[in-house]
């Protein structure tokens, strides 16, 4: 009887772990132009997107974080372009931050999306059940 209860408990626990992996959605928040923060963010984005084929990753940049996706201000254009080939990975930049820093949409790496408000984008993802990670090293 004890073995049966143990096995039943193990079954429920295993099912919970499998379901957690199916719903792997994370939004990263980048506000820094620090290259160490940017490197960490790109590494985490690769790791999460490779964890399972259904993992969904969204990187939201505002403040000085917009420098990551501005062609003339980033050293990671190739890495971002490669990540954007995965349909479950997106990079979204705040229109307010772009305006404040004098960045035009033509200066963005192709495939980067513009959202009206970066903070609202993050809050919306959290409301939809996405995990939240602030990108700092």
In whole angstroms, how far apart are CA 136 and each of 1, 65, 75, 126, 133?
50, 11, 18, 19, 9
Please compute the mean of the pLDDT values over residues 55-72 and round it to a whole number. Answer: 97
**Domains defined for the chain, CATH in brackets:** 24-134 (3.40.1260.10)
2 pLDDT above the threshold of 60:
no
The tens digit of pLDDT for each residue in 107-130 reads 999 999 999 999 999 999 999 999
- Angle formed at CA 26 by CA 23 and CA 27, multiple of 5 degrees: 150
Paired tokens of 63: 């403040």
Nearest to 69 by CA among 100, 114, 19, 16: 114
The tens digit of pLDDT for each residue in 3-62 reads 545 444 545 555 554 545 568 999 999 999 999 999 999 999 999 999 998 999 999 999
- Helices 35-51 and 77-84 pack at an angle, to 10 degrees, of 20
**Which residue is it, tokens 């200066």?**
107
């Amino acid at each position: 009887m004890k073995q049966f209860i143990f096995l039943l408990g193990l079954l429920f626990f295993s099912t919970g772990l499998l379901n957690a992996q199916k719903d792997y959605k994370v939004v990263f928040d980048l506000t820094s132009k620090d290259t160490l923060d940017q490197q960490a963010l790109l590494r985490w984005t690769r790791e999460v997107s490779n964890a399972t084929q259904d993992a969904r990753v969204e990187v939201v940049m505002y403040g000085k974080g917009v420098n990551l996706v501005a062609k003339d201000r980033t050293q990671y254009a190739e890495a971002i372009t490669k990540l954007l080939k995965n349909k479950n990975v997106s990079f979204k930049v705040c229109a307010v931050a772009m305006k404040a820093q004098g960045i035009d949409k033509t200066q963005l790496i192709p495939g980067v999306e513009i959202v009206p408000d970066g903070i609202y984008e993050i809050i919306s993802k959290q409301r939809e059940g996405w995990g939240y990670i602030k990108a700092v090293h």
